Amino acid sequence: MPNISHARKLRLKKRIVFAAFLFPLLITAGRAENGRRHTNVPPSPLSKYSFHPTPSLRPVLPRVVSHGLSSEKTIALTFDACSTHAPSRYDERITEVLVKTHTPATIFLGGKWMEDEPAQTKYLSALPFIELENHTFYHPHLTKISNEQIREELRRTQEAMYTLIGRQPTLFRPPYGEYDKRVETIAAALGLTTVEYSLASGDPDPHFSKEVLIKYVTTMARNGSIIVMHINGRGWHTAEALPEIIARLRARGFTFVTVKDLIHSEEKTAHRK
Ligand SMILES: [Zn+2]
């Protein structure tokens, strides 16, 4: 029987080794794997800030706003500052036009864009007629990433803005106009209303000259339009076309408002009904 007892001893030894060394190792490896899978956003090599956690916002009803009331002659000009892989750019000529013409607008800022442009973010936040909102951190295709990654993209952008200017967005625009029920619901749980647009200006197309852009936007604009353009250099002729777009639409009796104003007047009307 000495053989059996020896085998038993060996088995016991193996169990002890497993319990003492291998099991914790497996757990750690599992955690690391989990962490990788859910690592929402890769650490940014450009990260200059340790972000402050934001106070939680009250959840909102999931919905997508893509236009305002068709009964009111109001238009919301919106500009996206998309985070790109290349160093971010900022077309300050656009802000100059908005300031000069006292035109309210909503700007959706990428988290990484803010990280690259802290001074501009602070400058924009000081303009009372400009609304700053969330355009995700790294500009991913949201419908192709996990729930946790979506949450992290939104959360980190909230934190970036909160760290820089002490307030956080309540609106969010998905990159590439890509969203689904899942994206909308996750955003709503974080207190963010998803905002799309009813009129894509076409300004990322280099073939859209200043003249074409003016003609297209002013012809297509309607009551309650949410128009999307770019402020990060993706709009080729946006800054040149903007003064004329604003002037022509105002001459036709339109008033420019922020997206939040557009939503408020819609809610007020719904309340009255
Ligand atoms: Zn974008």
Q: How far apart are the CA of 228 and the centre of ligand 1, in A?
A: 10
CB-CB contact of 154 with 186 (8 Å): yes
* Residue 10 pLDDT grade (very low, low, confident, very high; cuts 50, 70, 90): low
* Residue 2 pLDDT grade (very low, low, confident, very high; cuts 50, 70, 90): very low
CB-CB contact of 111 with 137 (8 Å): yes
Q: How far apart are the CA of 219 and the centre of ligand 1, in A?
A: 24
Q: How far apart are the CA of 238 and the centre of ligand 1, in A?
A: 15
* pLDDT at 29 > cutoff 50: no
Mean pLDDT of all residues in the chain?
A: 85
* Residue 127 pLDDT grade (very low, low, confident, very high; cuts 50, 70, 90): very high
pLDDT tens digits for range 235-262: 788 999 999 999 999 999 999 999 999 9
Q: How far apart are the CA of 83 and the centre of ligand 1, in A?
A: 7
The pLDDT assigned to 46 comes to 39
Q: How far apart are the CA of 271 and the centre of ligand 1, in A?
A: 33
Q: How far apart are the CA of 251 and the centre of ligand 1, in A?
A: 30
Q: What is the mean pLDDT of residues 214-222?
A: 97
The pLDDT assigned to 11 comes to 60
pLDDT tens digits for range 222-238: 999 999 999 987 778 89
User: What letter would DSSP give residue 142?
Assistant: G
Of residues 3, 77, 29, the one with CA closest to residue 258: 77
8 vs 102, higher pLDDT: 102
Q: How far apart are the CA of 242 and the centre of ligand 1, in A?
A: 19
* Residue 269 pLDDT grade (very low, low, confident, very high; cuts 50, 70, 90): confident
9 vs 43, higher pLDDT: 9
Q: What is the mean pLDDT of residues 109-113?
A: 95
The pLDDT assigned to 234 comes to 77
Instruction: List phi, psi (to 5°) of 204.
Output: -75, -5
Q: How far apart are the CA of 33 and the centre of ligand 1, in A?
A: 30
Cα angle: 210, vertex 70, 270; to 5 degrees:
140
The pLDDT assigned to 149 comes to 95
Q: How far apart are the CA of 268 and the centre of ligand 1, in A?
A: 30
Q: How far apart are the CA of 135 and the centre of ligand 1, in A?
A: 7
Q: How far apart are the CA of 103 and the centre of ligand 1, in A?
A: 21
Rounded distance between C-alpha atoms, residue 129 and residue 116, angstroms: 23
pLDDT tens digits for range 141-196: 999 999 999 999 999 999 999 999 999 999 999 999 999 999 999 999 999 999 99
Taken in order 18, 21, 27, 29, the sign of the CA dihedral is negative
Q: How far apart are the CA of 113 and the centre of ligand 1, in A?
A: 11
Rounded distance between C-alpha atoms, residue 194 and residue 186, angstroms: 10
233 vs 91, higher pLDDT: 91
Q: How far apart are the CA of 7 and the centre of ligand 1, in A?
A: 65
The pLDDT assigned to 48 comes to 55
* Residue 107 pLDDT grade (very low, low, confident, very high; cuts 50, 70, 90): very high
Q: How far apart are the CA of 26 and the centre of ligand 1, in A?
A: 40
